[in-house]
Chains A and B, each alone.
Chain A
Amino acid sequence: EAGVAQSPRYKIIEKRQSVAFWCNPISGHATLYWYQQILGQGPKLLIQFQNNGVVDDSQLPKDRFSAERLKGVDSTLKIQPAKLEDSAVYLCASSLHAGQSYEQYFGPGTRLTVT
């Protein structure tokens, strides 16, 4: 089966610009996650969707970050305006259902550099 797809793989922008990332989860996976992985750190959950509803967005900086999952399939994560500290790899993951017993499958990530 196809894995989690993400695009673009790399993005360089200047601070105060906006950027969007796209994720296509594994077919049939109801749960989708966005993580931020800053260099030298482990991934940090930003937002979790169950179908097209938000389950957890407690660590999403809502003043500049937004995410949506239209029709419960693809998802986009947007940053507007970007700050230098947003430089990171943004990982998308999906799982069949919510809950720890279901394995999360990760995409290759989008590496964002903010200059």
Chain B
Amino acid sequence: AQSVTQPDIHITVSEGASLELRCNYSYGATPYLFWYVQSPGQGLQLLLKYFSGDTLVQGIKGFEAEFKRSQSSFNLRKPSVHWSDAAEYFCAVGSNTGNQFYFGTGTSLTVIP
């Protein structure tokens, strides 16, 4: 069965520092992978997605993620974090044969000045 693990419950970074949020998935075939961001009181917003092709995916707000099949990972990165990036980040995996989404438990990001 599909599952997603986000090992880091909470991360704190300084503004301007680089960021990497970890995501590991379990899926038997080629997964569809997503990163969503959820700001307080807001709905989930899609940052980026991977279906196939280039394993380095560019998203909105300066985020990118790299699909590594050998490590079953899809880590999210940003070279320089802004205070407005403070939010909850969710990794999700979907099947390419159905519509089911499986979300990780999320990583809460705090940005300090």
Chain A interfacial positions (CB closer than 8 Å to B): 3-4, 31, 40-45, 48, 55-56, 91, 93, 98-101, 103-109
B104 in contact with A100 (CB, 8 Å):
no
Question: What interface size band does chain B fall in?
Answer: 20 to 34
Q: Which chain A residue has the least Cβ–Cβ distance from B102?
A: A42
CA distance A107 to B41 in the complex (A): 10
B92 CB contacts on chain A under 8 angstroms: 42
CA distance A98 to B100 in the complex (A): 10
Contact with A along B69-99 (1 / 0, CB 8 A): 0000000000000000000001010111011
Chain B residues whose CB sits within 8 angstroms of the CB of A109 once the complex forms: 43
Additional 8 contacts, C-beta under 8 A, given A3-B43, A106-B36: A40-B105, A42-B90, A42-B104, A43-B101, A100-B32, A101-B32, A106-B45, A108-B43
Whether a CB of chain A sits under 8 angstroms from the CB of B109 is no
* Cβ–Cβ < 8 Å partners of A98 in chain B: 99
When the two chains form the complex, which single residue of A3, A41, A56, A91 contacts B100, counting CB atoms closer than 8 Å? A56
Which residues of B have CB within 8 Å of A44? 103
- The B41-56 residues at the A interface (CB cut-off 8 A) are 41-46, 49, 51
Contact for A100 among B36, B42, B51, CB less than 8 A: B51
CB-defined contacts of A55 to chain B, threshold 8 Å: 99
Question: What 6 pairs across the A-B complex have the smallest Cβ distances?
Answer: A42-B103, A106-B43, A100-B32, A106-B44, A100-B94, A108-B43
B4 interface residue per 8 A CB criterion: yes
Chain B residue nearest to A92 (CB atoms) is B43
**Neighbouring A residues of B95 by C-beta, 8 Å:** 100
Whether B43 pairs with A100 at a CB distance below 8 angstroms is no
11 contacts between A and B (CB under 8 A): A41-B106, A42-B4, A42-B92, A42-B104, A43-B101, A44-B103, A56-B99, A93-B43, A100-B96, A105-B43, A108-B42
